[in-house]
Amino acid sequence: MHELDGMLNLVALVVAALGIEAAVPAPKAELEGPPPTVVERGFLLRIDGDVDVPAGQRVDSIVVIGGNARVAGSAESVVVVDGTATLEGAQVGELVVVDGHAILGAGTFVRGDVVVLSSTLTRDESAVIGGSVQTQAPWHALSFWITGVLLPLGLLLTLILAGLAVSALVPHGVRRAEIALSKDIGKTLLASLVLWIAVPIVVALSFAAVLTIPAGIGVLIFVLPAIAFFGYVIVGIRIGDSLLGAIRGRIPAVHPYQAALLGIPVLALIGLVPVLGGLATVLAGIVGGGAILLAAYRTVRERRTLPAAVAVAPAGA
């Protein structure tokens, strides 16, 4: 989901800051073709987008999730999840493709292994693979740990920390959103339609005025993804409260810390189920965002209807 871009980019920056690299650079003598004229060091991560490394450019590692990678230059490691990795005359240390397609074009040289998990491989006769073609995850490969372990765990930890944060800072708001999910599901769905259909339409119409374009872009890129993210967290907390209620039979605490610690990982596990898990993840963000909108609307309305304070003169005045 687009809302996940900021979090995953943060994880990638932390990984890069720690100096992690996906493979050890091989001696220049092992590389075929002319040396790159431009060197671009770094860890490149792209979510729902494509990466293009033209001939003559070199990067450390590339991770693409939900997109395609085209490499004509050189890279130490290329990892593509749910997309196509196209190497055209490239020099690559290691290639990993999960749920996608790997294309090794003419003149391509892979020093290490080519790992294709639930993927297909198309290889030109002139393409050279220094290692082997593997169809099972190599537990020793750093790229496997980054994409298969570190990124998912980092995302789960971020979700749990967000759940604990909202439980501590706005516990009453969390409870209001939970009530909307459980007792006012009809109004919650209506609020979801307003949030995810009406608001984008209004924002798109606002682009007709040049002055409102920056605000509209901010709403689409930052505000809506943030609401979907916290909507997912609220749904996870609601699941945790339901599980705790079934186990203990007690009324939920004011601060739902335990519900966040239990429910968010359970919702993440549900997300691992093929097809249905992805649908559940998307619906959690959509419906949870509607619950947040409905809870916020009710809070604002109640504050407006509170009676004004009346000054009372002290006795004997």
Q: What are the pLDDT digits (tens) for 162-185?
A: 999 999 999 999 999 999 998 899
Please give the residue range of the domain that contains residue 124: 21-141
pLDDT in tens, 182-222: 889 999 999 999 999 999 999 999 888 888 888 889 999 99
Return the amino acid letter for 262.
L
pLDDT in tens, 104-122: 999 999 999 898 988 899 9
Q: pLDDT value at position 248?
A: 77
In a domain, 103, yes or no: yes
Q: pLDDT value at position 144?
A: 62
Calculate mean pLDDT across residues 299-307. 76
Is the model's pLDDT at 36 over the cut of 90? no
Of residues 312 and 143, more confidently modeled = 143
The answer to whether residues 136 and 155 belong to one domain is no
Indicate the number of domains in the chain.
2
Is the model's pLDDT at 310 over the cut of 60? no
Number of residues assigned to the chain: 317
Query: Which two structure tokens, joined as six digits, stand for 192?
Result: 């979801």
The answer to whether residues 225 and 161 belong to one domain is yes
The answer to whether residues 95 and 135 belong to one domain is yes
In a domain, 12, yes or no: no
Contact between residue 122 and residue 104 where contact means Cβ atoms under 8 Å apart = yes
- Range of lowest pLDDT (137-141, 267-271, 294-298): 137-141
In a domain, 313, yes or no: no
The answer to whether residues 158 and 106 belong to one domain is no
The answer to whether residues 64 and 119 belong to one domain is yes
- Range of lowest pLDDT (10-19, 32-41, 262-271): 10-19
Is the model's pLDDT at 7 over the cut of 90? no
The answer to whether residues 83 and 50 belong to one domain is yes
The answer to whether residues 134 and 257 belong to one domain is no
The answer to whether residues 226 and 89 belong to one domain is no
In a domain, 42, yes or no: yes
Strand partners, 91: 74, 109
Number of Cβ within 10 Å of residue 277's Cβ equals: 15
Number of Cβ within 10 Å of residue 301's Cβ equals: 9
Is the model's pLDDT at 21 over the cut of 70? no
The answer to whether residues 285 and 155 belong to one domain is yes
